[in-house]
Amino acid sequence: MDQDTALRLYEAMLLTRLAEERLVKLFRQGQTLGSVYRSLGQEATACATAMALGPDDVIAPMIRNLGSMFVRGVTPEEIFLQYLGRATGPSGGREHNNHFGSVARGVIAPTSMLGALIPVMAGVALSFRQKGERRVAMTWIGDGGSSTGAFYEGLNFATVQNLPLIVVGESNGYAFSTPPERQMAGHMSQRSQGAFTLTVDGNDAAAVYEASAQARQHCLEGGGPVFLVCETFRMKGHAEHDDQRYVNPGLLAQWAARDPLPRLETWMAQRGWRPDPSLGPRLEAKLAAEAEAALEAPWPGTGALSAGIFSS
Ligand SMILES: Cc1ncc(C[n+]2csc(CCOP(=O)(O)OP(=O)(O)O)c2C)c(N)n1
Interatomic CA distance for residues 63 and 300, integer angstroms: 24
Per residue in 172-198, pLDDT (tens digit) is: 999 999 999 999 999 999 999 999 999
Residue 297: what pLDDT? 98
Q: How far, in Å, is the centroid of ligand 1 from the Cα of 236? A: 15
Confidence of residue 307 (pLDDT cuts 50, 70, 90): confident
Is-catalytic flag, 234? yes
DSSP 190-250: G--TTSEEEEEETT-HHHHHHHHHHHHHHHHTT---EEEEEE----S-SSTT---TTS-HH
Q: By three-state DSSP, how is residue 137 classified?
A: strand
**What pTM was computed for the model?**
0.97
Q: Which of 241, 246, 271, 274 is labelled catalytic?
A: 246
* 306 pLDDT tier (thresholds 50, 70, 90): confident
Any idea where the domains of the chain sit in the sequence? Answer: 3-298
Order of strands across the sheet that contains 165-171: 58-60, 137-142, 165-171, 226-231, 196-201
Instruction: Tell me the CATH architecture of domain 3-298.
Output: 3-Layer(aba) Sandwich (3.40)
- For ligand 1, is residue 145 a contact (CB within 6 Å)? yes
Catalytic residue among 99, 105, 129, 238: 238
Alpha-carbon distance of 9 to 260, in angstroms, equals 11
Which are the contacts of 182, defined by CB distance < 8 A and separation ≥ 6? none
Can you tell me the mean pLDDT for 79-90?
Answer: 97
Amino acid at 197: T
Ligand 1 centroid to Cα of residue 165, in Å, is 21
Centre of ligand 1 from the C-alpha of residue 100, in Å: 18
